[in-house]
Chains A and B, each alone.
Chain A
Amino acid sequence: MIELIESEAAPVLARPYFQGAQTSPIVASLAHVPEVLEVAMPFIGLVLGPSAIDARTKELVILRTSALLECEYCVASHTVVALDSGVAASEARALRGGDVSAAFPDAREAALLHWVDAVAAGVGGVAPAAGDTLAGHFSEPEIVELTLLCAATMMLNRYCTALRLPTGHGTLSRLAAEGFA
C-alpha cells in the first residue's frame, strides 16, 4: 500500500533505526515521517520490549491482543518472539485463537488473559470484574503497564493491518519450522 523506505533512502534522523535487510517494515514505513518515527520507536521499544515485567508475560499480552485484532503481521512476528520468550508452542497456538482457559491454568496468567480479552475484544466500558480479578494478581504499576501494552499493541495491529505491512521471510521460515501454518 505504501512504499517501504530502503536503507539508502532513510532520512537523516531515521538512520539509527535502520538495520539493513533486518529493518522492520514498521520502521521502514514510519520513516516517511521521521519526526514521528523518532518518538514512536523508543515508545514502542519501551512498552513492548524489556521492562520491569518479564518477557513471557508481555508476549502473552501482545500475541493474544494481535490475534483478537487479526493482525497477520503482528501475530506472525510475535509468535516467534513469544516462542523465544518461553511461551510453549501449544500456548502460542491457544493465544492465536485456541482455548486459552485450557492452555493457561495458572490463575495469574488466566486473569491477565481475561483482562486482555476484555480490553482488546470489546468496545465501550471494560467489565469491572475483569479488572477486579486482575488486581488480585498484579500491582497497580503492573496493571498500568500491561494495559498500556495491550492498547499499544492494538495501535500497532491496526497500523500494520491497514498498511498491509509484509511479514519477513525469516519469520515465515521460522514459523514453518515450528509447525505454524
Chain B
Amino acid sequence: MSVAAAIGEGRIGPRLWMYANYHCNLRCSYCLTESGPGVARRHLGRGAMIERALEARELGFTGLGITGGEPFLVDDMPERLAELAQILPVVVLSNGTLFRGRRLAALDPLRGLPVEVQISLDSAEPDENDEMRGPENFAKVVAAIPELLARGIGVRIATTLNDPDAYPQAAMDRLCALHRGLGVSDDHHVVRPIVRRGRAATGDMGVVAGFDELEPELTLTVDGAFATPFGPTVRDGRLDTDLLISRTTAPVAFPAALLARAAGAHAPGSDARLGIR
C-alpha cells in the first residue's frame, strides 16, 4: 500500500510529527518524555525539519506537528515554523509559558501563516493546573493566549486528564468557559487522557496505550521514526522502543512505508484505538 493511499484511507494520520527537542523549562508530572531543564536537548536540525516537511508533502501528508520538549526553547523556532508553514499547515505544541518580551515579539513573522500553537491547560483552577505543570503555569498560559491571538496566531488548548470520564462536569464547564473567554473556541479545545508512558508510568497515572490503541501518526525524532507522537517516550532516562518504526528517518518515504505496512495489518474501524490525539 502506498503512503498516499494509507493516508487517504485513514490507516495512518495525515500529519507528520517532528520532535524538535527534548528539553523543557517545565517538569510536568505526567510528561511522556521526562523532559525538564536538565535533560539532553537532542535537537532535530532546522535543515532536516525543512527537508522532511518537503518530502512529507510529496508523499501526501497534509499537515505538520512540531513537539518536544518545549519547541520554543529552540532559538530559531519562529523562523523554522514560518518556513514549515510555507510547506504545510503546522500545529506546534507548547507549554505556553515562554511567550513574553523578546520571545513573544519573535512570533510576529507567523502572523497570517497556517500555524497554530497548541497550549496545555489542564484546569480552570490555578492550583489544580499548577500541581501538574508547575508553579505559575496557569497565570502564564492565560496571559499568553490573548497575546498570541492578538498577533494573528491560532491557538488550540489541550487538556490532559488522568481520567477524562471521571472529571467533574462542573469543572469542565469552568474550563470551557475560561478558554472561550480567552478567545479559543470549543473546536480548538481537545481533552485527552494521560498516556501511561514516561513520567506518567513512573507516577502510575493514565491509560495504557500501545500500537493497537493509538492512532498511527509518523513521528520523527533525532533517535528515529516512531509510530505515533506518543512513541518516543523516555522512562528512567531510557528511550522506549516499543513504538519505534526505524532508526532511518530520511527520506521520509522509508519510515512512512514501514508504518503504512504495519498499520495495514489493522482493518479500518476494527481496532480498539482510543482516539487519543
The chain A residues found within 8 Å of chain B, CB to CB, are 5, 8-13, 31-35
Contacts and interface: CB of A to CB of B under 8 A. Distances in A.
6 contacts: A11-B241, A12-B227, A13-B245, A13-B258, A34-B244, A35-B246
Interface string B238-256: 0011111111100000100
Closest 10 CB pairs of A and B: A35-B246, A11-B244, A33-B247, A12-B262, A9-B241, A9-B242, A12-B211, A11-B241, A35-B248, A12-B227
A34 B246 contact: yes
Given A9-B241, A32-B241, A34-B246, 13 more contacts: A5-B241, A11-B241, A11-B245, A12-B211, A12-B243, A12-B245, A12-B262, A31-B241, A33-B247, A35-B245, A35-B246, A35-B247, A35-B248
Interface string B254-266: 1000100110000
Interface in B52-80: none
B266 to A, nearest CB: 11
B254 A11 contact: no
Interface string B207-219: 0000100000000
Interface of B: 211, 227, 240-248, 254, 258, 261-262
A35 B257 CA distance: 11
Given A35-B254, A35-B258, A10 B242 contact: yes
A139 B262 CA distance: 41
A9 B254 CA distance: 22
A10 B258 contact: no
Contact of B243 (A5, A11, A31, A35): A11
Contacts of B244: 11-12, 34
Contact of B240 (A9, A13, A34, A35): A9
